[in-house]
Chains A and B, each alone.
Chain A
Amino acid sequence: MSVATQDTAIRTGRVTRTFIYVFLLVFALFYLLPFLVMVLNSLKPLEEITSGNMIALPQDWTIAPWLSAWSTAQIGVEPTGLRPYFWNSIKMVVPAVAISTVLGALNGYVLTKWRFRFDTILFGLMLFACFIPFQIVLIPMARILGELGIAGTTTGLILVHVVYGLGFSTLYFRNYYAAFPTELVRAAQIDGAGFFQIFWRILLPSSGPIIVVCVIWQFTNIWNDFLFGASFASGGAAPMTVALNNLVNSSTGVAEYNVHFAGAIMAAGPTLLVYIVAGRYFVRGLMAGSVKG
């Protein structure tokens, strides 16, 4: 380790290092175990789970629970499986992420490069909106969606997620563009570029990292939302999380744990996939963002 420790001021003895490794590995196990249990037990017949050993490998490997969770399991009253709800979530999350990201980018651009009176107050209001408990808006939201005729629809959910996702997307882009040299914007102004040309030709080509962060954040939050889904789209338009909860917590019949686990992995799938593919950029951006505020 002598080479590796050269540039750090902290040196640790062998006993300490052993302890550190054990500690880190125990926690790695703690984080991995629940997911491992879900995967193993989603590939077992139900009797193997009820007879006792959750941590054992399946004796009789089967994908039947997966098929059942996807297309035949009882969700509420219909034996449709999770499939239609998975598509509901996709139809909700793609437009909601796209719209909130675009608006967030424009807001961030205006708030940093075209400053005007009260811009800090406006941003403060947007920032606080990120952190409100959504219970405070549930009642009026239900009424408005009803009056707009989009209660219980995916369109309604898209509106809700765009509105309450704006604060965070604006926050990300504002912090990113705040560090973007204002001289570039001035140079472009002198060169004769207008408001949208500056955004499109100068800022946007350099926004890759923050777009990744914002898209992942919005995707994860909107996909994982349960409260709005359960409140405003509990029927046929319900998103995946609501359907999964219905599957797991329905009181009728025998609890099919293996099907529940398969369903849970399906619900986790898209966000995990995004995390595995682009998580590195996300963590980098998020760490910078959260520590700097």
Chain B
Amino acid sequence: MGFLDINGVTKAYGAVEVLHHVDISVDEGEFLVLVGPSGCGKSTLLNMIAGLEGITSGDISIKDTVMNGVHPSKRNIAMVFQSYALYPNMTVGQNITFGLEMHGTPKEERERKMREVSQLLQIENLLDRKPGQLSGGQRQRVAMGRALVRDPDVFLFDEPLSNLDAKLRVDMRTEIKKLHQKLGTTIVYVTHDQIEAMTLSTRIAVMNKGYVQQLGTPKEIYDNPANVFVATFMGSPAMNVLPTKLEDRNGALHAVLSGAEGQEVILRIDDAPAAYGAYKGREVLLGIRPEAITDPEGADRNARNIQSLTNIVGVTEPAGADTFVTMHVSKRDCIARMRADADVHPGRPFEFAVNMDKAVLFDPETENRIG
């Protein structure tokens, strides 16, 4: 039994099931991120944990107590909302202590806790202001203060950074991570931003269409995506997914693709899992991340199996630290990530280095990872 347990939870509105049998167990001190495109059910799940939406079947328990039907305020949780949901008519101080006031905490203790929290978040000088007078980042801090002051078992974050501009978002991300490391609280965090998911979490649940597609550590999710959806959703630019024929040549498995001019491109696969055997001679999908396709000088020195791929360069996009190259492989766009000063020119052939250690295969029918 974990600290927060979601057991076989479904949610249906009338006949429409929007969340299908979700099982997640979260340990104390974990930082779980629910990530997925809009409409995947992640916010619904969060609201069900909070008690803001009813559970159609299954149950949710915190510290081994079943929470179904328990009022949100009695679950000992706190939530930070996307819009921050600061009460516009109250000062920052009143916003932070409103929950304590509702729970009948004496005034002195409320004041004391408010001071503690405002010190921690460095918002002491804002306590008498109204939310309307604060900047986005300050509102974000106040919203976190309101959650922290309750000293809850579980923190729930509903896309808390999506209303901030790009730079502030990165700063606040770091700050949330610091706060988690310092306080060691259990957090469930909803976002549609896969970078936030990767950077913040100890575990990620990737969701789509009401299903948990994969639950695992950021590294597991990134390196071994369970299916094509997870592979393309996590990571930016997305993983290249290329139609491939799997062939046995000279006793080794090879992925056979076609280049921009129809030429055959062969990539050898070493240490193939046993499951690949069943796909021999069949069409599969080859998944390879852009950073695994580089210029030869930029290739990972620790990689055991670097294959070369000669192809016509399509478009080059210098992005400062790296240069992205788009080319045609198997009639699809394939993106490679080169060093900034790699000598690539649109329309000319170039010899790419492909790190096949990082390649994964997917079944073309089920789109699930093979092996």
Q: What residues of chain A have their CB less than 8 Å away from a CB belonging to chain B?
A: 181, 183-184, 186-193, 197, 201-202, 205-206
Complex-state Cα separation, A191 to B73, whole angstroms = 6
Residues of B within 8 A of A181 (CB): 83, 85
A187 and B102 within 8 A (CB): no
User: A183-B81, A183-B83, A186-B81 are known contacts. Are A191 and B98 too (CB-CB below 8 A)?
Assistant: yes
User: A190-B99, A191-B73 are known contacts. Are A184 and B78 too (CB-CB below 8 A)?
Assistant: no
Q: What residues of chain B have their CB less than 8 Å away from a CB belonging to chain A?
A: 47, 50-52, 71-74, 77-79, 81-83, 85, 87-89, 98-99, 102-103, 146, 150
Question: When the two chains form the complex, which single residue of B71, B85, B89, B103 contacts A187, counting CB atoms closer than 8 Å?
Answer: B85
B89 and A191 within 8 A (CB): no
A206 and B102 within 8 A (CB): no
Complex-state Cα separation, A188 to B77, whole angstroms = 13
Residues of B within 8 A of A187 (CB): 79, 81, 85, 87, 146
Question: When the two chains form the complex, which single residue of B47, B83, B102 contacts A192, counting CB atoms closer than 8 Å?
Answer: B102
A189 and B52 within 8 A (CB): yes
Name the distance in Å between B156's Cβ and chain A's nearest Cβ: 8
9 chain-A/chain-B pairs, Cβ below 8 angstroms: A184-B85, A186-B47, A186-B81, A189-B51, A190-B79, A192-B73, A192-B103, A193-B102, A201-B98
* Residue among B52, B74, B78 with the highest chain A CB neighbour number at 10 A: B52
B102 and A191 within 8 A (CB): yes
The 5 closest A-B pairs by CB, nearest first: A192-B73, A191-B99, A205-B89, A192-B102, A187-B85
Taking CB as reference atom, which chain A residue is nearest B82? A183
Name the distance in Å between A169's Cβ and chain B's nearest Cβ: 22
Name the distance in Å between A199's Cβ and chain B's nearest Cβ: 13
Complex-state Cα separation, A191 to B85, whole angstroms = 12
Taking CB as reference atom, which chain A residue is nearest B79? A190
Complex-state Cα separation, A187 to B150, whole angstroms = 13
Residues of A within 8 A of B88 (CB): 184, 205-206
A190 and B72 within 8 A (CB): yes
Name the distance in Å between B82's Cβ and chain A's nearest Cβ: 7
Complex-state Cα separation, A205 to B77, whole angstroms = 26
Complex-state Cα separation, A212 to B320, whole angstroms = 57
User: A183-B82, A202-B87 are known contacts. Are A190 and B77 too (CB-CB below 8 A)?
Assistant: yes
A186 and B89 within 8 A (CB): no
Residues of A within 8 A of B87 (CB): 184, 187-188, 201-202
